[in-house]
Amino acid sequence: MAVSPSYSSAPAPLWQRAWPHVLAVLFFVVLAVAYFAPIVFNHQTLAQHDITQFQGGAHETQQWAAEHGHEPLWTNSMFSGMPTYLISVHFPGDLFVYVQKAVALGLPAVVSNLFVALLCGYVLLVALGVRPLVAVAGAVALGFSSYNLAILAAGHNTKSWALAYAPLVLGGLMLALRRNKWLGVALFTLGLTLNVRANHPQITYYLGLLVVIYGIIELVAAVRAGRLGDYLGRAVLLGVGAALAIGVSFGRLYTTYEYSKYSNRSPSELKALPPAPGQPAAPSAKQQDRDYAFAYSYGIGETMTLLVPNFYGGSSAMPLSTSSNMARELNTMGAGSDALASMPTYWGDQSYVAGPVYVGVVVCFLFVLGLFVVDKRTRYWLLAGTLVSFVLAWGKNFETINNLIFDYLPGYRSFRAVSMGLVIAQLAMPLLAALALSRILRPREAAPLGAAPAPTEPLHPALAKAARAAAGAPTVVVDSADNQYRTRQLLYAGAITAGFLLLTWLVSFSFDFASPQDANLTQAGFTPQLLSALRADRADLLRSDVWRGLLFVGLTLGALYFYLKGKIQATVAAGLVVALVLLDLWTVDKRYLGEKNYQTETIVESFQPSPADQQILQDKDLSYRVLNVGNPFNEARTSYFHKSIGGYHGAKLRRYQDLIERQISPNNTGVLNMLNTRYVIIPGQQQGQAEQVQRNPSANGNAWFVRELRAVQNPDEEMAALTSLDTKHVAVFDATKFPSVKPATSADSSGTIALTDYAPDALTYRYTAAQPSTVVFSEIYYADGWQAFLDGKEVPHFRADFVLRAMQVPAGSHEIKFVFEPKEYKIGNTVSLISSLGVLLAVVAAGVFGTRRQKEPLA
């Protein structure tokens, strides 16, 4: 068959070139709106756990900003006090907040998130020269990958935004290093700016690994081709763009970096506790860090969920149908079927899974095809990135390599949940799949970036002449040899993918489908018959997804096969693949983000004060703290209404975490008193019973004078002293950390001190003392930003009782004021403003310059 589409030497009118892209954007809006129809049309909201917790922790900050016109940088609503850098802080210098709003088109939050993910995937592929319809297929593959929807269901919005913008970075990178360096740098800088400001460093880190792998492969190619100078020039431009992009978020990054020195992501200053008699020794600090990071590791076999979503049962709370084995067993027992809505079908090694990482069986098939048809540099890069992704995600299941990576890869030990490493594959596999589809549907056309082989690297000797002719001719000619070669490659890819699926089906008969969590089910009342039925359902879920996958592979292969045989046009084939990719991913995504995830009330409406809250809120004193003993350190609902001893955040202050583990959890009342714990909320003892409130009459108050200030020589002695310390009358401090502070005693304890004015980031006290004394405040000591003033003059303060602020004060009547004004915020905000302006100017200038220049040849 010969296909000879001709091309006019004059460019088509702008409207004619633009309308396919306009239609694509409208299609993405329709898809996003349709997927989240209950939000758009029924005014429902997603029941996002982490967003609900965020609202609880951020409420004091947001309420204060609304009432007083400025956003405090410190909050007392969580963990007795912490900076708001990682909770809710805006940087006025970051002008890209307006770019973000413009791109989101005013759509509801999760709807705009999905839309932007689709849009950025499309821009990536169009930038690489892929035709619009094929780019739509790639965008759908990138945007609807199951992990994107699962993290939205959980409320990991920042993670989702960072992933959404990642394709822009890759598109700009490839464009800059292979074709138009100016347009490429502009796109790269814009994408990285938005990706970094999404504020999920772990996703940006993984994206950076994929960028580094690409850079190394391109460097090797440049050296071999004798164009090292050109490569370095382009790399320098990309480096400048990266510096500007990071600068836009410098305020956020700088404050987070400073906070990380004091957070629980840093090692404890305390020695490990000795083991209890008869118990093994506690692991080393390094091993504890690894265990924490590797707690969520993807199983090696679990990687098959990329191809078969229910390979390990789907999720830890999966609905089962009324025709399932479990339903029949429940019916036999005369039990109700309500439990079918949430069954523990997942049987992998992880403790809890909301859903598998599934890139799509169609995408996997096209990915395998890409290993045959896409140029070597591109396919080697994306294959290497995918394999690295697997290794990182395996974590503790592949310790030989991952322990070395954790110990020596710069910055890597700062992150947890290494299963997240699969986001690299989530980017790489759909990209290679889309380039493969483009290559099949335009086998001899002027090649899109990354889709056609270089003239020096023909796919087949018989095609060398056609390749050379196509490089300089406006006409595309596809001969029978090319068709036969492409058809063989297509069939090889189909056979490999289908073979994996059939092998999975066969091997599944050797699985026992037993979960490490099944012992807990037995303790919870599961009979052997119920457990057997559950395992049978796990088997059915796997095998049904195998046959489902075979159907999708067959349909996709058929569409491309008929195109190569001249039975259907390229547009029809591309449209069929778009429909198959969408149908495949949409139906799996709905398993994990569907009707069950919506609620009629808004997040704010979900925070209704309980009778216990209302009782406490009648106390109008300026500041006191509340301990909710029902899971206190993994909930932020209490923080919405009160200044809480607990909270919900992945990065507590390290010393406060140590205090929780060593003193608060063992219920040391002296420590609770020094934290000014005035009220304790106790959950009802029986289901449905209301919470009870107990007032603690022994709370130390906002500040108090101590009779003795006692020196210790290290953090372990300081922590140990708290175990039996009379915190009302004695305080301890680490003399090695505060050498200028001297131990002191006072025979006169008649001094009085009171909090007279409260703001989250500014506290004012009035005191009267007959002689120089030591005063301890029930506020968390944080060296980076808090300043103390005595009658308007700055004075030093120090840390006492492991976590609190203290000050040695003169006799008389005076005013003390603490103000939180971290220099990092001021410096960071200034750099953010300058960088924002720099990025906007650079992107516009590079875009204008790049479009005026003649298109550079493919490198």
- Crossing angle of helices 181-197 and 228-248, rounded to 10°: 30
617 and 497 inside one domain: no
- Supply the pLDDT for residue 196: 95
Encoded tokens for 725 = 């310390």
Do 594 and 685 fall within a single domain? Answer: no
Residues 389 and 498 in one domain: yes
Q: Which segment, 56-70, 160-174, 312-326, is predicted with the most confidence on average?
A: 160-174
**Residue 70 falls inside a structural domain:** no
CB 789, CB 795: distance < 8 Å: yes
**Containing domain of residue 629, as a range?**
611-695
Distance CA 423, CA 694 (A): 47
Q: Which two tokens stand for residue 413?
A: 């030990």
Q: Residue 228 falls within a domain, yes or no? A: yes
In a domain, 288, yes or no: no
pTM for this predicted structure: 0.87
User: Going by DSSP bridges, is the β-strand pair 598-599/45-46 parallel, antiparallel, or unpaired?
Assistant: antiparallel
pLDDT at 385 over 90: yes
Mean pLDDT, to the nearest integer, of 66-85?
92
For residue 856, is it within any domain? no
Which of 518-527, 575-584, 688-697 is modeled with the greatest confidence? Answer: 575-584
Residue 783 counted as domain residue? yes
Q: Range with the lowest mean pLDDT among 107-116, 557-566, 746-755? A: 746-755
Counted domains in the chain: 3
**Residue 411, Ramachandran bin (φ over 0: left; ψ between -120 and 50: alpha; else beta):** left
pLDDT given at position 10: 56
| C-beta of residue 538 within 8 angstroms of C-beta of residue 313 | yes
Q: What are phi and psi of 37, to 5 degrees?
A: -55, -40
Q: Is there a single domain that holds both residue 660 and residue 548?
A: no
pLDDT of residue 290: 81
Looking at 571, 598, 625, the residue that finishes a domain is 598
On the question of pLDDT at 564 being above 70, the answer is: yes
Within-domain flag for 399:
yes
Structure tokens at 116: 């932007």
In the structure, what pLDDT confidence band is assigned to residue 4 with cuts at 50, 70 and 90?
A: very low
In this structure, the answer to whether residues 104 and 148 fall within a common structural domain is yes
Tens-digit pLDDT profile for residues 279-333: 666 666 667 778 878 888 999 999 999 999 999 999 988 899 889 999 888 888 8
Q: Identify whether 843 is part of a domain.
A: no
Q: What is the pLDDT of residue 461?
A: 35
Give the model confidence (pLDDT) of 485-508 as tens digits.
899 999 999 999 999 999 999 999
Model pLDDT, residue 561: 95
Q: What is the mean pLDDT of residues 719-723?
A: 96
Enter the tokens of residue 616: 């406490």
- Rounded to whole angstroms, the Cα distance separating 99 from 102 reads 5
Q: In the prediction, which pLDDT does 460 show?
A: 39
Residue 436, CB half-sphere, CA atoms under 13 Å: how many?
30
Query: With bands split at pLDDT 50, 70 and 90, how would you rate the model's confidence at 531?
Result: very high
Q: How confident is the model at residue 483 (pLDDT cuts 50, 70, 90)?
A: confident
Which two tokens mark 579?
């429909």
Does residue 47 surpass a pLDDT of 90?
Answer: no
Domain match, 542 and 453 both? yes
Average pLDDT value for residue range 717-722:
96
Last residue of a domain, one of 598, 628, 648: 598
Q: For residue 637, what are its two tokens?
A: 């609902």
Same domain (yes/no): 360, 222: yes
DSSP SS3 for 808: strand
pLDDT above 90: residue 545: yes
Residues 6+ apart with CB under 8 A from 746: 705, 706, 707, 708, 771, 772, 773, 774
Instruction: Based on the fold, state whether residues 485 and 557 are members of the same structural domain.
Output: yes
Average pLDDT for 689-712: 93
Q: Looking at the structure, do residues 686 and 765 belong to the same domain, yes or no?
A: no
Q: CB-based contacts of 308: which residues, under 8 Å, 6+ apart?
A: 361, 501, 504, 542, 545, 546, 549
> Is residue 126 a part of any domain in this protein?
yes
Residue 364 clears pLDDT 90, i.e. is over it: yes
pLDDT of residue 463: 38
Closest CA relative to residue 145, chosen from 367, 338, 331: 367
CB 451 within 8 A of CB 156: no
Is the per-residue pLDDT at 578 higher than 80?
Answer: yes
Residue 485 to residues 443, 491, 834, Cα–Cα distance (Å): 11, 10, 55
Which pLDDT belongs to residue 445?
Answer: 41
Residue 459: pLDDT over 70: no
- Considering the domain architecture, whether residues 484 and 617 belong to the same structural domain is answered as no
**Residue 166 sits in the same domain as residue 206:** yes
**Are 628 and 655 members of one domain?**
yes
Query: What's the pLDDT at 474?
Result: 38
Boundary of a domain, candidates 633, 663, 695: 695
The pLDDT value recorded for residue 663 is: 95
The pLDDT value recorded for residue 520 is 84
**pLDDT above 50 (res 467):** no
DSSP 207: H
**Strand, coil or helix: what is 664?**
helix
Query: What pLDDT, on a 0 to 100 scale, did the predictor assign at position 179?
Result: 87
Least confident span in 431-435, 480-484, 578-582, 811-815: 480-484
| Mean pLDDT across 596-601 | 83
